[in-house]
């Protein structure tokens, strides 16, 4: 009985071996392949055909996309019939050796868009049940771009600042590390309480000793990139930006004040002055009634005439000439002075209202001159009547009074 069981076991083993040799297998050595951007990538695929297979297998490579439909890259039907899709026409190819079970996919100049999963599928045309497949992932690595170093905060005594370092590109995500150097470019330890996380170096309660040279290194699986920054910690009074801001504010205030003063001065100049009036003797314009002015002038003329009458020793012609000369000088000086004043005020167009007042005064002056002329005519007639008999009596011989005694000699 034991011998029967042993034989039966051997038969099962042999039958199982035949079954294994009769099945198809497809395999890819690694689950993930990493290639730098711009390099060529080769995805290997090996397979075994069943011993009963009498025809060449069909091998296809497919790009699996989670966001869209899968797309077939290349398909092998025979050594003379290989199809490549239009999307990969210029940069995809198959490296195959069917008897040895090799069908590798080669992609040239890979980009970040090639980062995805790929499937290698082998089909036996004589097998109605279908074929076998294997999957792998391609990761296109991108070297970190040159990081950007910045200072966040005000570099003054006692302040807290952050030094930031960031690379815009990098697959996988790069890691960052800061190094600290003093002003003499000698490496040194970071100050107490300093933190360095995700490219952010935090410095607390900075001082003059914090000044120095800081170097940031961005690294991933492919390569690394660096950036640096020079930190100068200044006292608050030495902050040039604040100083320039204060100076600019003061300059703006002074400029505004100057504009205000200039406007006030211009407004004061444009303000019309009061039209000063003088008395008739000093050629002052007045708003008084011409009648009152004429009467005052008549009184002054009367006093002059009384003075002339009191001094009988001056000849009539001399007195008349002096009176006439005095009037002529007075009138000519007055007219000349008024003419100069009129010329002076007519030069400025802003004194239109003064010209109106002057025109009114000229009208009053004309009326005053007419009255004065009439008064002079009356005075002349009065003088001629008063002094004609007196001077005529001087020319005639004196008359003898009737009661004068006769000369005794006669």
Residue whose C-alpha is closest to residue 285's, from 376, 355, 347, 352: 355
C-alpha distances out from residue 21 to 24, 52, 66, 127, Å:
8, 9, 36, 15
- The edge-to-edge listing of strands for the beta sheet with 212-219 is 187-188, 175-181, 212-219, 224-231
Return the structure tokens found at 9: 């076991």
Distance CA(223)–CA(208), nearest Å, equals 35
Is-contact 202 195, C-beta < 8 A?
Answer: yes
Give me 197's structure tokens: 């996380």
CA torsion, ordered 310, 315, 316, 318, to nearest 10 deg? -110
Q: Are 216 and 147 in contact (CB under 8 A)?
A: yes
Q: What are the residues whose beta carbons fall under 8 Å from the beta carbon of 78, sequence distance 6 or more?
A: 56
CA distance 45 to 61: 10
9, 10, 14, 16, 87 from 4: Cα distances, Å: 9, 10, 16, 18, 63
Q: pLDDT digit of tens for each residue in the chain (410 aa)?
A: 444 444 444 444 334 433 344 578 999 999 999 999 999 999 999 999 877 777 888 999 999 987 777 889 999 998 889 999 999 988 999 999 988 999 999 999 999 999 999 999 998 887 766 678 999 999 999 999 999 999 999 999 999 999 999 999 999 999 999 999 998 989 999 888 899 999 999 999 999 999 999 999 999 998 999 999 999 999 886 556 666 777 888 989 998 988 988 888 877 666 555 444 444 444 444 555 555 445 555 666 666 666 565 555 444 444 444 544 555 555 555 566 666 666 665 555 555 666 667 777 777 777 777 777 777 777 777 666 555 555 444 555 555 555 555 555 54
Task: Give the integer Cα–Cα distance in Å for 169 and 193.
Answer: 30
CB of 119 closer than 8 Å to CB of 61: yes
Go through the chain and tell me how many residues it has. 410
> Based on the number of CB atoms within 10 Å of its own CB, is 369 exposed (0-12), middle (13-18) or buried (19 or more)?
middle
Segments of 124-245 assigned E as strands:
132-141, 148-152, 161-166, 175-181, 187-188, 195-197, 200-203, 212-219, 224-231
105 contacts 73 by C-beta, under 8 angstroms: yes
């Amino acid at each position: 009985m034991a011998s029967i069981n042993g034989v039966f076991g051997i038969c099962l083993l042999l039958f199982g071996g035949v079954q294994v040799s009769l099945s198809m297998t497809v395999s890819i050595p690694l689950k993930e392949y990493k290639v730098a951007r711009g390099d060529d990538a080769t995805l290997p695929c090996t397979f075994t055909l069943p011993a009963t297979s009498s025809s060449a297998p069909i091998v296809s490579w497919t790009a699996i996309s989670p966001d869209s439909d899968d797309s077939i890259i290349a398909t092998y039907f025979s050594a003379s019939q290989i199809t490549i899709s239009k999307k990969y026409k210029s940069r995809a190819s198959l490296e195959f050796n069917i008897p040895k079970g090799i069908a590798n996919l080669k992609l040239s100049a890979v980009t970040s868009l090639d980062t995805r999963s790929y499937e290698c599928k082998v089909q036996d045309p004589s097998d109605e049940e279908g074929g076998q497949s294997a999957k792998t992932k391609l990761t296109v690595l991108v070297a970190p771009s040159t990081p950007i170093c910045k200072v966040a905060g005000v570099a003054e005594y006692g302040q807290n600042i952050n030094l930031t370092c960031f690379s815009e590109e990098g697959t996988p995500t790069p890691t960052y590390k800061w190094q600290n150097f003093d002003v003499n470019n000698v490496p040194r330890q970071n100050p107490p309480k300093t933190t360095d996380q995700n490219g952010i170096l935090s410095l607390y309660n900075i001082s003059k000793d914090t000044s120095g040279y800081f170097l940031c290194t961005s690294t991933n699986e492919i390569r690394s990139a660096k950036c640096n920054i020079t930190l100068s910690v200044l006292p608050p009074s030495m902050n040039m930006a604040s100083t320039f801001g204060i100076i600019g504010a003061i300059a703006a205030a002074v400029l505004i004040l100057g504009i205000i003063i200039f406007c006030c001065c211009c407004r004061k100049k444009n303000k019309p002055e009061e039209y000063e009036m003088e008395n008739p003797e000093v050629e002052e314009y007045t708003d008084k009634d011409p009648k009152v002015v004429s009467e005052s002038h008549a009184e002054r003329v009367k006093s002059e005439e009384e003075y002339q009458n009191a001094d009988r020793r001056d000849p009539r012609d001399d007195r008349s000439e002096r009176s006439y000369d005095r009037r002529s000088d007075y009138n000519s000086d007055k007219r000349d002075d008024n003419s100069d004043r009129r010329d002076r005020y007519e030069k400025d167009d802003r004194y239109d209202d003064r010209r109106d007042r002057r025109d009114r005064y000229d009208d009053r002056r004309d009326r005053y001159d007419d009255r004065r002329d009439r008064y002079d005519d009356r005075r002349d007639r009065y003088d001629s009547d008063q002094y004609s008999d007196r001077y005529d009596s001087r020319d005639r011989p004196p008359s003898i009074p009737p009661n004068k005694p006769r000369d005794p000699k006669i």
